[in-house]
């Protein structure tokens, strides 16, 4: 188990450490596959990259509550409602761990929220697609949580300690989410023809957007090389996309659905499935705000923020009261 780079050169030295020494210490930490912790010196670019990725990840979890959350009041049974409720709550929890991880880097949570609400920070493209039927709930669990697992299991070994540790718990929960989605779809596939058609229709709509979740192809990914050198990311976007396809094809066969890609076939030589190219111009359009549900998702997030103002005010008033009481006790 790699240990933290616990002592930076500045910890005990009388003279302030020089930047080249700090940089060399950081480089050694990364090269030895140890963890960088909040108290350690880190290059400004590393800090900025982490805040960017962790904040986007947190925003994705929070916005990601909406597509499935829309089905909580319409779930077809009490059991399905309870399951869905718990899953959506887990996503809120993931957002909170991630905002906390970003705070260890000096980011201010209110500022991150403002950036999301004002459209200055991104969230995952996948949550800008609609959920017109209950099969979408199952397919989100199977594909979207499945893709999240492929992407996030390697992040459990990310070089930044708080992010890596947050991912361990998130991945355990995502794995449970994926299985609940698959179980829901299996139930629907053993139901009526109308239910089977509903599942196939949802698979057709979510397949390509799910492949796009992994980001642009490696040649067009401006951040990958540096993030991999810093061991924030462990695998490239295309490597993870391939892993997801290889993992999902046998599951689709077992379920009895067809993945909507005529180019999908096993390549014996590569030991992987060949597959078609997602429409990356669609990904770019959705990222820039022009997806089917971008406006709706942002409007809902803004309203939720405004409606939550009283909670923030009450928490601040309580904290102020607490601080006054502690001050009085100290003075007594
Ligand atoms: N959507 O250089 P690249 C979940 C942006 S939530 C939007 O390859 P990078 C769940 C990218 O940010 C899971 N934007 O970037 C929740 C960059 O823009 P900036 C969400 C995207 O960072 C509820 C630009 O395009 N997962 O599981 O090296 C229910 C160039 O890309 C997307 C995470 O957040 C996209 N799909 O790699 C169910 C995982 N793709 O910042 C499930 C953590 C790319 O330069 N994040 N962009 O302006 C990552 O692993 C990486 O940030 C990415 C992108 C692979 C997403």
Q: Given a cut of 70, is residue 2 above it in pLDDT?
A: no
Q: Are 26 and 41 spatial neighbours (Cβ–Cβ below 8 Å)?
A: yes
47 Cα to the center of ligand 1, angstroms:
17
pLDDT, mean of residues 69-92: 97
For the entire predicted model, the pTM comes to 0.93
Rg (the chain; Cα; Å): 22
CB of 113 closer than 6 angstroms to any ligand 1 atom: no
pLDDT, mean of residues 37-41: 97
Task: State residue 5's pLDDT score.
Answer: 46
Name residue, tokens 């997030």: 301
CB of 101 closer than 6 angstroms to any ligand 1 atom: no
- 16 confidence band (pLDDT: 50, 70, 90): confident
CB of 151 closer than 6 angstroms to any ligand 1 atom: yes
Percent of the chain with pLDDT over 90: 94
**Nearest protein Cα to ligand 1, atom 34:** 57
pLDDT, mean of residues 17-38: 94
Q: Are 258 and 203 spatial neighbours (Cβ–Cβ below 8 Å)?
A: yes
pLDDT digits (tens, 9 = 90+) for 43-64: 999 999 999 999 999 999 999 9
Q: Are 212 and 283 spatial neighbours (Cβ–Cβ below 8 Å)?
A: yes
- 14 confidence band (pLDDT: 50, 70, 90): low
Rounded to whole angstroms, how far apart are CA atoms 96 and 102? 10
215 Cα to the center of ligand 1, angstroms:
6
């Amino acid at each position: 188990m790699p240990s933290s780079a616990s002592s930076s050169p500045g910890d005990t030295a009388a003279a302030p450490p020089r930047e080249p020494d700090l940089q060399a210490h950081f480089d050694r930490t990364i090269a030895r596959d140890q963890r960088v912790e909040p108290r350690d010196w880190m290059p400004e670019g590393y800090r900025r990259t982490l805040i960017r990725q962790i904040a986007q990840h947190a925003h994705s979890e929070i916005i990601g509550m909406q597509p499935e959350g829309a089905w909580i009041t319409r779930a077809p049974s009490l059991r399905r409602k309870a399951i869905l409720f718990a899953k959506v709550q887990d996503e809120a929890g993931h957002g909170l761990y991630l905002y906390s991880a970003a705070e260890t880097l000096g980011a201010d949570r209110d500022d991150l929220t403002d950036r999301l609400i004002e459209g200055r920070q991104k969230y995952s493209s996948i949550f800008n697609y609609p959920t017109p039927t209950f099969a979408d709930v199952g397919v989100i669990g199977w594909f979207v949580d499945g893709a999240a697992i492929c992407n996030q299991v390697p992040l459990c070994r990310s070089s930044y300690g708080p992010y890596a540790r947050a991912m361990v718990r998130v991945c355990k929960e995502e794995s449970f989410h994926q299985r609940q989605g698959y179980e829901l779809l299996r139930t629907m596939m053993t139901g009526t023809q109308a239910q089977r058609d509903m599942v196939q229709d949802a698979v057709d709509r979510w397949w390509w957007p799910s492949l796009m979740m992994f980001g642009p192809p490696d040649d067009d990914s401006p951040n990958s090389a540096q993030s991999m050198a810093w061991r924030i990311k462990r695998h490239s976007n295309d490597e993870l996309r391939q892993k997801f396809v290889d993992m999902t094809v046998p599951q689709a066969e077992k379920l009895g659905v067809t993945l909507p890609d005529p180019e999908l076939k096993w390549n014996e030589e590569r030991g992987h499935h060949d597959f078609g190219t997602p429409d990356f111009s669609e990904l770019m359009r959705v990222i820039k705000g022009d997806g089917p549900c971008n406006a709706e998702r942002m409007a809902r997030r803004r309203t939720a923020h405004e409606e939550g103002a009283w909670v923030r005010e009450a928490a601040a008033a309580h904290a102020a009261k607490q601080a006054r009481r502690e001050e009085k006790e100290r003075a007594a």
